[in-house]
Amino acid sequence: MGSSIKLFSVRGINIYMHVTFPLILVWAAIQFGFLAGGSWAGALFGVIVVILLFVIVTLHELGHSFAALNYGVQVREIVLLPIGGVAQLQRIPENPIQEFVIAIAGPAVNFALAIVMGLVVLLFDIPLINPAEVLTNLRAAGPNAIFSYVFFSNIFIGVFNLLPAFPMDGGRVLRALLATRLSYSQATSIAVAIGKGMAWLLGLYGFLGGGFFLILIAFFIYIGASQEEQLVTMRTILRGLTVNQAYSRQARTLRPDDTLKDAINLTLSTFQASFPVCDNDHLAGLLTYPKLVEALTTYGPDTPVEQVMLRDVESVSPTDELFDVQRRFEEDEVDALPVVQDQHFLGLITSRDVSEVYRLLSIDPNLLRNNGQVKVFTAES
C-alpha cells in the first residue's frame, strides 16, 4: 500500500491510514470550529471526536477481521479512509452462515461498546447530552459533551452499517439470509438490486441536504454493488471450466542461464510479459516484467535470469477451476501463472486468457462445454 501509512498491527493484521486520512481531521477542525462561531475550542472538539470515532471504526473492522480469521479467511489489511474503514478480506465465504457472522461482527462491536459505555454512564452517573445540544454549545464543550457525542455516534455507526445497502454489512446479512433459501447468484441479484436502490435514496437524501458524505457513501455503495454482481456473474459463467480449456500451450520460456538481455528480446518480440524459467521441462522460476525492470536497474543486462527470477512460484494444474485461478490473479496481484502437471511445465495461463473465455461464454454459455478439449486460442506467439 504505497499510498498508506502503517499505524500498528493486531494478530498479524496491519492497520494502515490512507494518506488522505488527515483531510478528515482538517475538515472536522474547520466544520466544528465554524459551528462554534469560529472558535479553537470547537476545532479541538472536532478533531478529538473524529479521532475517537476512528478508534471505534477500527474496532468495528477488527470485529469483521477476527470473525473472518475464525473461519480461516485471511485478512490482508485494514485501511482507514476519510469516509470510514475497510477490512480487506482475502475472500468472502459463499457459506451463508459464515458471511452472516463476519458481516454482523462489525456492528456487534458497536453495540457491545454501547453497552460498555452505557454501564460507564450508569456507574459514574454521567449526564448524557443530546448531540444536537452539544453542537449548539461547542464553545463550552467538555469531556461530558465529547463522551455523549461519541456514545451516540457509535450507536449511529452500528445502525447505519446495518442498512440493507449491499455491500454494506446489512446488505451482506441480507444476502446471507436470502442465500439460505435461494441460489447464491439469485440471492446476490436481489441484494444488489436493493443495494443500488438504497444508494440512489441515500444519494438523493444527500443532495437534498443530508450532506456531501452521504453522496460519497452512496456512490461507493453503488460501485461496490456493481462489482460484487460482476464477480458472481463471472463465477456463474466460469463454473465447471478448467485451466485446460484456456491456457496458452505456446508460451515462450527462458532457461536459467539465459541473460536479462535474452529476456528483454523475448519481451519485445512477443505479447508475453511474464516468462517461466525452465530447466528442461521443469519449472525453476518466473521472471515477471516488474522483476525484470527492477533487476536491470540493480544488475547489468548480462546477469543470468536464474539470479533474479522469482522462486517458489505458485503454479496451477490443468484441472484447476478457472474461476479460482481468476481469483488468484486478483488476490496475488499477478497476471500470469505457470501451468504445471506432475512437475512438468505445460504452459502459461494469463488473466487475458480468462477474460477471453469469459467474453466468449457471455455470448454463448455452451460454447466450451460440449467438449472438454476445446482450446481457446490466445494472442500469445
Residue nearest to Zn ion (CB): 106
Give the DSSP per-residue string, 317-356. Answer: -TTSBHHHHHHHHHHTT-SEEEEEETTEEEEEEEHHHHHH
Number of residues that bind Zn ion (CB under 5 A): 3
| Burial (Cβ within 10 Å: 0-12, 13-18, ≥19) of residue 137 | exposed
SS (H, E, C) 268-302: HHCCCCCEEEEECCEEEEEECHHHHHHHHHHCCCC
**Smallest separation, CB 94 to Zn ion (Å):** 19
**Residue 380 engages Zn ion in binding (rule: CB under 5 A):** no
Mapped onto helix, strand or coil, the DSSP state of residue 93 is coil
Q: Looking at 126-134, 155-163, 252-260, 293-301, which segment touches Zn ion (CB under 5 A)?
A: 155-163
- Would you say the C-alpha torsion 195, 201, 203, 209 has a positive or negative sign? negative
DSSP H or E stretch at residue 173 = helix 169-179
Q: Looking at 72-80, 147-155, 166-174, 181-189, which segment touches Zn ion (CB under 5 A)?
A: 166-174
Nearer to Zn ion (CB atom), residue 43 or residue 217: 217
Mapped onto helix, strand or coil, the DSSP state of residue 76 is strand
Mapped onto helix, strand or coil, the DSSP state of residue 117 is helix
**Residue 169 engages Zn ion in binding (rule: CB under 5 A):** yes
Nearer to Zn ion (CB atom), residue 166 or residue 247: 166
**Residue 106 engages Zn ion in binding (rule: CB under 5 A):** yes
Nearer to Zn ion (CB atom), residue 102 or residue 336: 102
Q: Looking at 16-24, 40-48, 157-165, 197-205, which segment touches Zn ion (CB under 5 A)?
A: 157-165
**Smallest separation, CB 3 to Zn ion (Å):** 22
From residue 39, alpha-carbon distances to 42, 49, 121, 131, 136 in Å are 5, 16, 29, 18, 13
Q: How far apart are CA 102 and CA 65, in angstroms?
A: 8
Nearer to Zn ion (CB atom), residue 99 or residue 169: 169
**Residue 99 engages Zn ion in binding (rule: CB under 5 A):** no
The pairing of beta strand 336-341 with beta strand 344-350: antiparallel
**Residue 158 engages Zn ion in binding (rule: CB under 5 A):** no
Q: Looking at 100-108, 202-210, 283-291, 298-306, which segment touches Zn ion (CB under 5 A)?
A: 100-108
Nearer to Zn ion (CB atom), residue 67 or residue 145: 67
Give the DSSP per-residue string, 11-36. Answer: TTEEEEEETTTHHHHHHHHHHHHHHT
Q: Looking at 10-18, 169-177, 193-201, 346-354, which segment touches Zn ion (CB under 5 A)?
A: 169-177
**Smallest separation, CB 106 to Zn ion (Å):** 3
Nearer to Zn ion (CB atom), residue 222 or residue 358: 222
Nearer to Zn ion (CB atom), residue 46 or residue 106: 106
**Residue numbers at the binding site for Zn ion (CB under 5 A):** 106, 161, 169
